[in-house]
């Protein structure tokens, strides 16, 4: 896939412009977004992502277009899992509703920058070490097993990571929010506020998710441009999606199983690809292993869509049934 430098520049500029419009148009003035506002803007970001996919198809062909869509859908589904953590963070830090948009947008911007570093590092590893696909594949399979074992359980409390603990240790922090300000002066001394802490929490939490998602998308395409754009577009609409599905996340009870199936599938796909490009001396004498055919992009895309559809429908049916059982039990039975 030949991507001219000017295409990179225009694409990055467009993404930055979208972030700026998002900030100036919706975040700069603190307010709690309505469901209608969140729905329209969420649809707008999905429409932009889909339109970009059709541009990829028109310019570079259906194969690369399919890889982009497979990557985008996978990243979007994995980002829903991020939202569970985002809810925990917002609750733990008691972020005022009207300031949550600002927190999410800046946190997601931090996450996008950090993911870009991860993507470039991953691309460099793949270009120089073909055996890295074995590592990526094994890691995704292990992650899939861990996801499946966790089942329908989600953490109910947010545990601060090392980045947050280090930040608190280095910088003095106020106990209360000071409007939307990230820092404030008290008696001539500069303090950081919980607003900055929670932004760092969002960005660093997403970085942990990137450890899973970046290898996953490299299992669907090795094109750095597609990996970057799929990640960027999936993150760009995450703020609107948070407010759109806030309160509905608990209904996706089988999400972990669906994500486990997708990650496991991509992990196996990576291992098969690694065998086809094998140069490891102790595996088949360093020769390629082509007995098992590689999984096509079409099959990958179909598998991901089917799994997500089944997961969503099954989750909604279960929560509806549980609600009816609870409602039918009555106060005396309960």
DSSP symbols for 56-118: HHHHH-HHHHHHHHHHHHHHHHHHHHHHHHHHHHHHHTT--GGGHHHHHHHHHHHHHHHHHHH
Q: What span, in angstroms and rounded, lies between the C-alpha atoms of 191 and 201?
A: 17
User: So what's the pLDDT on residue 59?
Assistant: 94
DSSP label at 173? Answer: B
Query: Predicted confidence band at 112 (pLDDT cuts at 50, 70, 90)?
Result: confident
Give the tens place of pLDDT for each residue, 273-312. Answer: 888 887 778 787 778 788 888 888 888 888 988 998 998 8
Structure tokens belonging to residue 268? 């196996």
What's the full length of the chain, in residues?
A: 334
Q: What span, in angstroms and rounded, lies between the C-alpha atoms of 295 and 292?
A: 9
Q: What span, in angstroms and rounded, lies between the C-alpha atoms of 304 and 70?
A: 7
Cβ-based neighbour number of residue 318 at 10 Å = 15
Cβ-based neighbour number of residue 80 at 10 Å = 20
Distances (CA, A) of 250 to 88, 112, 239, 322: 12, 26, 18, 12
Of 69 and 182, the one with more pLDDT: 69
Contacts for 95-98 with beta carbons within 8 Å, 24 or more apart? 95/177, 95/194, 95/195, 95/198, 96/177, 97/32, 98/30, 98/31, 98/32
Residue 74 and residue 266 in contact, taking contact as beta carbons nearer than 8 Å = yes
DSSP label at 249? Answer: G
Distances (CA, A) of 159 to 169, 186, 208: 16, 28, 13
Q: Per-residue pLDDT for 334 more than 50?
A: no
What residues does each domain of the chain span? 5-323
Average pLDDT of the chain, as a whole number: 82
Cβ contacts of residue 270 below 8 Å, gap of 6+?
A: 133, 134, 136, 137, 140, 215, 218, 219
Residue 231 and residue 217 in contact, taking contact as beta carbons nearer than 8 Å = yes
Tell if the pTM clears 0.85, that is, is over it: no
Distances (CA, A) of 225 to 8, 128, 193: 8, 18, 37
Q: Per-residue pLDDT for 125 more than 80?
A: yes
Q: What span, in angstroms and rounded, lies between the C-alpha atoms of 68 and 75?
A: 10
The 3-state DSSP class for residue 174 equals: coil
DSSP label at 153? Answer: -
Give the tens place of pLDDT for each residue, 58-105. Answer: 999 999 999 999 999 988 888 777 777 777 787 777 888 778 888 888
Structure tokens belonging to residue 116? 């870009």
Q: Per-residue pLDDT for 122 more than 80?
A: yes
Query: Predicted confidence band at 22 (pLDDT cuts at 50, 70, 90)?
Result: confident
Q: What span, in angstroms and rounded, lies between the C-alpha atoms of 90 and 139?
A: 30
Q: What is the mean pLDDT of residues 220-241?
A: 89
Q: What span, in angstroms and rounded, lies between the C-alpha atoms of 198 and 191?
A: 15
């Amino acid at each position: 896939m030949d991507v001219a430098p000017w295409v990179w520049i225009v694409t990055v500029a467009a993404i930055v412009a979208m972030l700026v419009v998002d900030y100036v148009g919706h975040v700069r003035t603190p307010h709690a977004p309505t469901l209608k506002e969140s729905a329209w803007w969420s649809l707008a970001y999905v429409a932009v992502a889909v339109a970009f996919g059709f541009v990829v198809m028109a310019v570079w062909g259906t194969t690369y277009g399919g890889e982009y869509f497979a990557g985008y859908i996978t990243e979007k589904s994995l980002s829903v899992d991020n939202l569970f953590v985002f809810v925990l963070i917002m609750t733990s830090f008691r972020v005022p509703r009207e300031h949550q948009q600002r927190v999410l947008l800046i946190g997601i911007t931090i996450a996008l920058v950090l993911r870009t570093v991860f993507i470039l590092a991953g691309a460099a590893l793949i270009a120089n070490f073909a055996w890295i696909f074995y590592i990526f594949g094994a890691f995704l399979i292990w992650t899939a097993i861990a996801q499946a074992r966790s089942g329908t359980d989600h953490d109910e409390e947010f545990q601060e990571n090392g980045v947050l603990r280090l930040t608190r240790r280095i910088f003095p922090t106020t106990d209360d929010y000071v409007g939307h300000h990230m820092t404030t002066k008290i008696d001539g001394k500069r303090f950081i506020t919980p607003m900055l802490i929670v932004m760092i929490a969002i960005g660093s939490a997403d970085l942990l998710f990137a450890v899973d998602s970046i290898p996953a998308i490299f299992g669907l395409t090795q094109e750095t441009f597609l990996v970057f754009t799929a990640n960027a577009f999936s993150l760009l609409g995450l703020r609107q999606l948070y407010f759109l599905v806030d309160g509905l996340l608990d209904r996706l009870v089988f999400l972990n199983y669906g994500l486990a199936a997708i990650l496991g599938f991509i992990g196996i796909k990576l291992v098969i690809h690694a065998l086809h490009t094998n140069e490891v001396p102790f595996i088949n004498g360093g020769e390629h292993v082509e007995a098992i055919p590689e999984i096509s992009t079409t099959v990958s895309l179909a598998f991901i869509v089917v799994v997500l559809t089944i997961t969503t429908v099954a989750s909604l049916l279960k929560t509806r049934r549980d609600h009816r059982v609870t409602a039918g039990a009555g106060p005396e039975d309960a």
